[in-house]
Structure 1
């Protein structure tokens, strides 16, 4: 059984008539209702059981009437409307309040009460009936008597304009009334829409005024023949064309800001600078260490080299911020570009003892000045340093999930992006070499000439600013009721300490060595007879010597080993020995001094350059060998031409012949001071050469035998 109450609204499904219950008798058998959505007073006496049966048979359904519209419009009522409301309420108070129910619902009694109030207030009968209808149809509340002017005028609806020009007249019409202009027609609207889409919603960012001029030139012209018989285009009279005001009004009336910005500047620009901010990241972080945000930025200051005092450009600064507390839990300052090593160095700094870390830079702090963090549950970064396969060990071995955001979407990492702005604004008045707004403009200051800090000194400045931020009040921080009860102020350090005590379980720690091995890059090296080879360079370790790795490699062949390395300096690599559950430190060998203190990128770039250079020298090498080969062929051919016809003589007296040749050739090759006088000898013919050779050999042999006989 359905329970019917006063002010309930129901609809009779068969007739689509809506009625409101005005009164229910004490026995719950009958009720008075008033028909809604009509302009006359139409009351009914209904049987409750009959209404209940209709409800069970689904011939009656309940409806909800929203009276909030009248209430909202009553807030901004004028004084005149308020006076009318009070006047009508005075009528209702005299005849229609509960003390007159149910008699007021009887037509005869109601008529007598109305006559009485007419005489008292000097008001017409129609007005009294109007007030009664509004009061009962509106739910028997005072605001139901409020004026319904908000329904007038058709606000927000398209008007069907005729030929009569609407709006303010143009100045020309005062002189020439027939040139008053035209209303915007549906045909014009279609033209407006087409030209807005074609010329306004594109990346050329054409102004609305320019689009209007293009539209006039293309759509509001006519072809005609000039005095020379040529076909030309001529604009139609201005009063027959849409004005720029009409064009602009039509556009802004239907303007879609999201569509406009995306069409003119792109979706990325809209999401970055113009999309709504409908959430707060702090409500999605459930305590310290639940989510860290990491990002890097080139800091707008120039630094000096620590050795030569030469300008080294701008540093790269990494921040790691805790979303829940806005605490900066880790920093890293480098001189290169943004890279994986910089990101993991900042992540490692989150776990470092901050007292010891600050001592490296000559800064003394207490533990509460910068509490030591830990590893988070989740790390939020953009698709840069921590994208791809590099962070797989961070996910699998350290248990940190990585959330990647869209590139150049600073609002996706609002906490860490805000920390950059805070630190930069804090340090800017105290630093030399800071890039100003007029940098690179004519007459502007050159920040490079004012550089005065090394990276060590700049790091000290950053650390001091971070400590200040962590101890400062954060405006508009959404403190929880529990924080307020415990007297927590909106200071990152206090929120951090409160969260550690009350919302623990998010931060985690691992051993320092285990953490470093999982943050370093992976690589594969091979053990050879020379040592451990990686990127073409040789590394050695004492364990390899003791365990005879290198002789084994020479006799049994090389084998691969897994390593860890920091690409910023390849003086050291770490071999992972899974069998011995250890890591082995290997150092760059002495003969590789050329590559000492070089980065992985520098070494690989040099090796690639060498390969390119060798390839470029192939033509030179081929030409050299071709010249050598041709000379050798000529020499062999000349020697063959000088051979004796009698081959037997070549097999006799070889020792004596060598001695003779040695004496002759030795005199020719002897080292002498001064210039040697050369005899000019004419080239003999081939027959002469053979004859002279025989004579010389014969004379030489004869003289040698004579010397032996004399000696004997």
Structure 2
């Protein structure tokens, strides 16, 4: 195949001269070309045979077209459109007169005639012809080379002018920008010296002082670096003597933003840990880390914000329980829990992990809760268990690592296991309004109520409430869950129990990743989209580019709110979108879809919109069923709380003083803990404890032991 065809761009390696082929004769004996650089260049004629030989010998190279002709309508001004229409109307008859127009004498004659006909200057027609040929022989080349205008991003040099005065000629610097209309004086240009002062002042007075504001940094800059422009009288009052030689606050802010990235400022003022937790781009989803249900679990513990009482004597406050939750990353199903009075440790974490493997129907039945197997499916141990740098970093965890992969988050990075962390905020909200003894935010305030005295729930009752909350979670739709297209097609709602059941049948294999295909740039439809902390959002899907990440756009969107940008997209393939460069209309940045699901790839725009509408409709269908289940669990919570309150009321007011009840909480907790350990073993919560532990736990004050003397469990300890 002949490589030397029309519109091919060639380069001579000796002098790096580039030319565009405009015409190849029918006999393949002559080639007409024009230099790519230069103004008012004329076409030249060369031998086809000579160029072919040079191409074979390496003296001639074919290169990619350095010009990119993509006339986006949104980037064209009225002046550009008017120029293109006028230029094309003028030169259209000339460029179609091929090959005669390439002969110089004939071309000059035709240009002169056309100049008279259109009332245009001859040089303008020559310029338009040169642009047309150099830029790819398309009418869109006549929009004009506006990319070279304005020098975007470059510092504009100052200009000087000469003033003629009676004392002589004086050269002064011209103030850039519009003249002042309100503030007195002329103002000053910010030179390199002033820019250095602003940079040093922001580093010294703003970045290194977390409490400082930019206004304070500006005032300190004037006081330290512009002392000769101010005066201080005997009373300490400061006056500005040379206002036109001091940067204004607006100039200070402008150059502060010009010289500093928000990323660097936040890290300098608040540290990298704060940035990673608060402002880092949210470009991923925990669901993408798991190939299916049962692959990756997250585990964490917290101290519940509720005080409990002893099951033997409800007037005895035993403290706040430790609440463990184990959750499946892929389906969001809570697969295990543990609630006890022991502190968070490897032993309590092991109880929560053990609870994962229990038969949930039998487990709930021990708490007088009847459920269907689909409400809380039985689950195996996961392949990967993610925890924090606590229980799973102990030596005992080495044994667990022989069965599954144990992962730990970095220090102070709870956001790495955000799925389970979020549950500690959502689950208490389901019972906080109905439970006595729940700790509010005003607990530490002076004159605030003491919620410990209102406690009425036992550990067993609180566990029942927690089970109802978990059952509600497992059967309630999840907002924002990334449903796969196959799920939407099968009308699978974003409910953890449904997702687990569906995933157990369809997502137990290895995760397949497809490499990205190379795309050919073409004229594509455009759209305005939003840059968010999760990526570039288009049609409810997020896209990412390393180049955009380097510009800190996602950080800016998270810190200051989303903003609009313009993209191009292929209506029949939304794997990639093409972000327009705000400074140069001919530049692109390819952004890739953030998804590991193969069903999300190669979709039409209509398919994406239809899937989104169908997903919303599927969740809406079950709205009343979900509402009924929520009401059922809520009623159960209310009944448990009411029964606990009634039982406490029947006992009557405690004979002890408030001080005695509160001061002995630790001792009561030890006794209650010993009872609960044996009860947990019988109910399937935990593992047996040595008898020696009972003796240690009951070694408390004699008057406290007397109160529990009627409990059979302690009679068994004596033998």
Cα distance in 2 between the residues matched to 1:225 and 1:481: 72
Q: Deviations over 1:646-687 (max 9, x none)?
A: xxxxxxxxxxxxxxxxxxxxxxxxxxxxxxxxxxxxxxxxxx
Give the superposition deviation at 1:145: 1.9
The equivalent residue for 2:145 is 148
Q: Secondary structure at the match of 1:62?
A: strand
Q: Secondary structure at the match of 1:369?
A: coil
Alignment pair present for 1:588 and 2:585:
no
Q: Deviations over 1:247-288 (max 9, x none)?
A: 121101222111111111111111111111222232231111
Give the superposition deviation at 1:330: 1.6
Residue 229 of structure 2 contacts residue 245 of structure 2 at CA under 8 Å; is this kept in 1? no
The equivalent residue for 2:670 is none
Alignment pair present for 1:351 and 2:361:
no
Q: Secondary structure at the match of 1:367?
A: coil
Alignment pair present for 1:385 and 2:391:
yes
Alignment pair present for 1:453 and 2:468:
no
Q: Secondary structure at the match of 1:403?
A: strand
Alignment pair present for 1:165 and 2:175:
yes
Name the count of aligned residue pairs. Answer: 516
Residue 328 of structure 1 contacts residue 419 of structure 1 at CA under 8 Å; is this kept in 2? no
The equivalent residue for 1:187 is 193
Q: Deviations over 1:170-206 (max 9, x none)?
A: 67864xxxx4332222112112212222232225332
The equivalent residue for 2:405 is 401
Give the superposition deviation at 1:329: 1.5
Residue 314 of structure 2 contacts residue 456 of structure 2 at CA under 8 Å; is this kept in 1? no
Q: Could you say which structure has the larger radius of gyration?
A: 1
Which 5+ residue runs of structure 2 have no aligned equivalent? 160-172, 511-672, 679-686, 701-719
Q: Deviations over 1:135-164 (max 9, x none)?
A: 222222333222333431111111122422
Residue 217 of structure 1 contacts residue 235 of structure 1 at CA under 8 Å; is this kept in 2? no
The equivalent residue for 1:677 is none
The equivalent residue for 1:468 is 472
Cα distance in 2 between the residues matched to 1:443 and 1:572: 37
Cα distance in 2 between the residues matched to 1:115 and 1:598: 114
Cα distance in 2 between the residues matched to 1:412 and 1:312: 33
Residue 222 of structure 1 contacts residue 233 of structure 1 at CA under 8 Å; is this kept in 2? no
The equivalent residue for 2:74 is 75
Cα distance in 2 between the residues matched to 1:352 and 1:434: 29
Alignment pair present for 1:292 and 2:395:
no
Q: Judging changes above 3 Å, is the alpha-carbon distance between structure 1 residues 219 and 327 closer, same or farther for their aligned structure 2 residues?
A: same
Q: Judging changes above 3 Å, is the alpha-carbon distance between structure 1 residues 238 and 108 closer, same or farther for their aligned structure 2 residues?
A: closer
Q: Secondary structure at the match of 1:375?
A: coil
Cα distance in 2 between the residues matched to 1:23 and 1:476: 57
Alignment of 1:94-493 (within 5 A): 94-97=93-96, 100-111=97-108, 114=111, 117-118=114-115, 121-162=118-159, 163-167=173-177, 174=184, 179-202=185-208, 204-222=210-228, 237-306=242-311, 307-396=313-402, 399-441=403-445, 447-448=451-452, 450-493=454-497
Cα distance in 2 between the residues matched to 1:570 and 1:188: 74
Larger RCO, structures 1/2 (Cα 8 Å, 6+ apart): 2
Residue 389 of structure 2 contacts residue 409 of structure 2 at CA under 8 Å; is this kept in 1? yes
CA-based RMSD? 3.7
Cα distance in 1 between the residues matched to 2:107 and 2:455: 94
Q: Secondary structure at the match of 1:386?
A: helix
Cα distance in 2 between the residues matched to 1:224 and 1:90: 64
The equivalent residue for 2:21 is 21
The equivalent residue for 1:693 is none
The equivalent residue for 2:710 is none
Residue 307 of structure 2 contacts residue 452 of structure 2 at CA under 8 Å; is this kept in 1? yes
Residue 331 of structure 2 contacts residue 496 of structure 2 at CA under 8 Å; is this kept in 1? yes
Q: Which range is displaced more, 74-83 or 384-393?
A: 74-83
Residue 303 of structure 1 contacts residue 454 of structure 1 at CA under 8 Å; is this kept in 2? yes
Cα distance in 1 between the residues matched to 2:674 and 2:25: 93
Give the superposition deviation at 1:371: 1.0
Q: Which range is displaced more, 332-341 or 495-504?
A: 332-341
Q: Which range is displaced more, 442-451 or 154-163?
A: 442-451
Q: Secondary structure at the match of 1:319?
A: strand
Residue 222 of structure 1 contacts residue 234 of structure 1 at CA under 8 Å; is this kept in 2? no
Q: Which range is displaced more, 313-322 or 339-348?
A: 313-322
Q: Which range is displaced more, 363-372 or 8-17?
A: 8-17
Q: Secondary structure at the match of 2:393?
A: coil
Q: Deviations over 1:68-101 (max 9, x none)?
A: 58645x523233433333333334544435xx44
Q: Secondary structure at the match of 2:297?
A: strand
Q: Secondary structure at the match of 2:130?
A: helix
Give the superposition deviation at 1:340: 1.8
The alignment's TM-score, normalised by the length of structure 2, stands at: 0.64
Q: Deviations over 1:327-359 (max 9, x none)?
A: 222222233443222322222121111111212
Residue 292 of structure 2 contacts residue 503 of structure 2 at CA under 8 Å; is this kept in 1? yes
Give the superposition deviation at 1:438: 4.9
